[in-house]
Chain A
Amino acid sequence: MSAAVEMEPAEQAGYFEVPRAHLYTVLHGAAEPSARVLLVGPFTSERHFSYIPWVRWARYLAARGIECLRFDYRGIGESTGVFEELSFDDWLEDVELLAAWLKRRSPDLPLLLHGLEMGGILAAKAFESGIGDGLLLWSPPANANVAFRGALLRRVAVDHAFKYKDERKPVSDYIRRLENGESLDVDGYEWSDRLWNESLKFELPAGIANQADGAMAFPKPVRMVKLDGRAAPLVKGSSVGYETINRDLSGLFTENLDWIRSAVAQHKRGSREPNH
């Protein structure tokens, strides 16, 4: 990898090469980091709506000595690749390749994975395969289809906003089209029937499905936080308007930074501690 554009001393943006595409990445550096976190963010249109608080979270962590890397999945956002040709395996590979790169920067530092919504499933699957020294999840869905349905509902709501009652089609009609082999444009992303069907089987690993199970299954710190509407637009992003975009999330940030610090300390001690 060559040098990246230096936006300010601590932030670097650039493209990371993966098979058949380039991932857009932003590294939020810290002078003497105590840990590194790979931020595995939301998917397709949710990515756009939660972008501002996600960037703020990365900056918050970096300013407190936690180096972060955030990125766009293949075919999404600023990354290249043709979305409709990709699968969950490709997006999981994105996480694995970036985690390996981040770990190589300083192998002695603990590496944590932090997933938000769909990113939670991808981060959890990577963690399950042995990547990372800790796992933080914010509102991961039980499976990818749950996240898809949320985005689909919002797409349908937009359709309905421009139509009167008689012209409106129910959500089930859209789902039927996907199940019958049609593809569907959702906020500029072409969902294929293949992707829809795969999403039903792409699940949060059973051992991480709830926090207690995570403690039993993994000898490493795991935390899962269910975010509600007060965390919008981090979650429920596309259903919110201008009024929440500047929301103060410092309480959420502080609480989770504390957990990250405790996970780092636990890693350093090399011992198991109960999860929070």
Chain B
Amino acid sequence: MNPTIETREVISVTVGGNCLWGTYHRSHFARRSSSASSGEANRVGILFLNPGFLPRASPSAVYWANSFAKCGYPAFRFDLPGLGDSEGDLPDKMLDFVSAGGYASSLSAIIKQLVERFSLSGVVIMGLCAGAVTALFTAAVTKECSGVVLMDPYFNVPPDRLKIQNELSQWATWTRLGALASEIYHRFRHVGLLLTGNKLPRNANFPLLHCWKQLTSAGTPILVLKAPAVKSQGLKPRTGVFDYLAYLQASSGRRSRVAVHFLEGTNHSFADHEGCRAVRHHTVRWLKDCFPPVTSRKIAVLKKPALEQAETGLNSYAPADQLALHRH
């Protein structure tokens, strides 16, 4: 078994005594280089976190990592402690653990090791759903984090749902009467929101919101990608549901660099073709805007400070739309 193939490599780091596994997708610059670590020097890497308890290798995660690497961004996928191939124990209440930022210290340690090992200038953390929550918590405590991509993040603390609540949800989506009851319920909630002056709900994840504010006030670039949800209209949640994104955007200061995109025609996993392509398209454009890929020539110039201003070329950037959908 060989840990390295042409485009990627199995890597590991040790955090808190646990061996954590990941996959490194070489940027196309590094593929030409004799050594991966020198080939990635001064580049911004991107690290992807899968949602929930899923291992690091979903088809979409592999596809995005390959795409970013082809565009010149070294890409990483990691299994956090207890997940996938990584060692460690899983918390009994995993959702609570994630909501409290439980994985932030481990992920922060991973990022520090990646930056050192590959001489990266920084790392963008990209997370889906619960992975987005961990990304935000981690970004706030990691100076090596250059930016954040949040895919369908949530900003509340998900409550423990009783069995009857799940059954009611099923009833609401499967029957006309249930749908009507749900609609009335959400109208009441809407009135409630109006009466309280659209205040943050009690189950808002306040520490997570604080992380957002910390990052936006520091000018950290943030990209938010939203998928359609039930009875929602574009970026707006359904009637009666608190609009966290609008709240956060409105309360972010002048320095904030937040871009929000609604991706039509996909679902919460973004795993279908449309979702995969749209995520790649928006993320590559955002990366290009915020972190223009540094060509090998540029790096050579950076090593000679006297000539630092001379190079501005981005010859190797491949427009997202020209990338074919291949899963290798």
Q: Does A83 contact B269, Cβ atoms closer than 8 Å?
A: no
B203 within 8 Å of A by Cβ? Answer: no
Q: Which of A3-11, A108-116, A144-152, A217-225 contacts B (4 or more CB under 8 A)?
A: A3-11
B57 CB contact (under 8 Å) in A11, A72, A81, A189: A72
User: In the assembly, what is the distance between CA of A4 and CA of B4, in Å?
Assistant: 9
Q: Does A12 contact B1, Cβ atoms closer than 8 Å?
A: yes
Q: Which residues on B are within 8 Å of A, measured CB to CB? A: 1-5, 7, 10-12, 19, 21, 23, 52-60, 62-63, 82-85, 87, 90, 92-95, 173-176, 179, 228-230, 267-269, 271-273, 276, 326-328
29 contacts across the A-B interface (CB closer than 8 A): A2-B1, A4-B3, A5-B12, A7-B12, A7-B21, A8-B19, A13-B12, A13-B21, A14-B1, A15-B1, A15-B5, A15-B10, A17-B2, A49-B54, A52-B90, A55-B84, A55-B85, A75-B327, A80-B7, A83-B327, A163-B230, A164-B179, A185-B272, A188-B60, A188-B272, A242-B52, A242-B53, A242-B93, A245-B53
User: In the assembly, what is the distance between CA of A224 and CA of B60, in Å?
Assistant: 34
Q: Does B90 contact A80, Cβ atoms closer than 8 Å?
A: no
Instruction: Output the residue of A2, A15, A26 with the most chain B CB within 10 A.
Output: A15
Contacts of B10 in A (CB 8 A): 4-5, 13-15, 24
The residue on B at minimum CB distance from A1 is: B1
A249 within 8 Å of B by Cβ? Answer: no
Task: Kindly provide the distance from the CB of B270 to the nearest chain A CB, expressed in whole angstroms.
Answer: 9
**7 closest pairs, A vs B, by CB?**
A14-B1, A188-B59, A5-B3, A4-B1, A188-B271, A78-B57, A77-B57
B11 CB contact (under 8 Å) in A5, A81, A245: A5
Contacts of A17 in B (CB 8 A): 2
A77-B57, A242-B53 are known contacts. Are A26 and B3 too (CB-CB below 8 A)?
A: no
Contacts of A24 in B (CB 8 A): 10, 57
The residue on A at minimum CB distance from B3 is: A5
B19 CB contact (under 8 Å) in A4, A7, A81: A7
A12-B1, A188-B276, A242-B52 are known contacts. Are A80 and B328 too (CB-CB below 8 A)?
A: yes
A51-B55, A161-B173, A162-B228 are known contacts. Are A8 and B1 too (CB-CB below 8 A)?
A: no
Contacts of B58 in A (CB 8 A): 48, 187-188
Q: Does B173 contact A15, Cβ atoms closer than 8 Å?
A: no
Q: Does A162 contact B1, Cβ atoms closer than 8 Å?
A: no
Task: Kindly provide the distance from the CB of B29 to the nearest chain A CB, expressed in whole angstroms.
Answer: 21
A165 CB contact (under 8 Å) in B23, B55, B84, B174: B174
**How many A-B contacts are there with CB distance less than 8 Å?**
124
Contacts of A77 in B (CB 8 A): 55, 57
Contacts of B23 in A (CB 8 A): 78
Q: Does B2 contact A15, Cβ atoms closer than 8 Å?
A: yes
Q: Does A82 contact B327, Cβ atoms closer than 8 Å?
A: yes
Contacts of A22 in B (CB 8 A): 5
Task: Kindly provide the distance from the CB of B257 to the nearest chain A CB, expressed in whole angstroms.
Answer: 30
Q: Does B175 contact A1, Cβ atoms closer than 8 Å?
A: no
Considering only residues 160-185 of chain A, those with a C-beta below 8 Å from chain B are 160-165, 185
A5-B12, A162-B267, A165-B173 are known contacts. Are A27 and B57 too (CB-CB below 8 A)?
A: no
User: In the assembly, what is the distance between CA of A189 and CA of B276, in Å?
Assistant: 12
Contacts of A72 in B (CB 8 A): 57
A200 within 8 Å of B by Cβ? Answer: no
User: In the assembly, what is the distance between CA of A83 and CA of B63, in Å?
Assistant: 12
A246 within 8 Å of B by Cβ? Answer: yes
Contacts of A159 in B (CB 8 A): 267
A15-B1, A26-B85, A48-B55 are known contacts. Are A162 and B272 too (CB-CB below 8 A)?
A: no
B53 CB contact (under 8 Å) in A12, A52, A158, A188: A52
User: In the assembly, what is the distance between CA of A2 and CA of B1, in Å?
Assistant: 6
Task: Kindly provide the distance from the CB of B7 to the nearest chain A CB, expressed in whole angstroms.
Answer: 8
A143 within 8 Å of B by Cβ? Answer: no
User: In the assembly, what is the distance between CA of A156 and CA of B229, in Å?
Assistant: 16
User: In the assembly, what is the distance between CA of A15 and CA of B11, in Å?
Assistant: 12
Contact with B along A1-43 (1 / 0, CB 8 A): 1101101100111111100001011110000000000000000
Q: Does A162 contact B230, Cβ atoms closer than 8 Å?
A: yes
User: In the assembly, what is the distance between CA of A164 and CA of B54, in Å?
Assistant: 27
The residue on B at minimum CB distance from A78 is: B57
User: In the assembly, what is the distance between CA of A236 and CA of B126, in Å?
Assistant: 29
Q: Does B2 contact A2, Cβ atoms closer than 8 Å?
A: yes
User: In the assembly, what is the distance between CA of A78 and CA of B10, in Å?
Assistant: 10
Contacts of A52 in B (CB 8 A): 53, 82-84, 90
The residue on A at minimum CB distance from B20 is: A7
Q: Does B3 contact A13, Cβ atoms closer than 8 Å?
A: yes
User: In the assembly, what is the distance between CA of A22 and CA of B3, in Å?
Assistant: 11
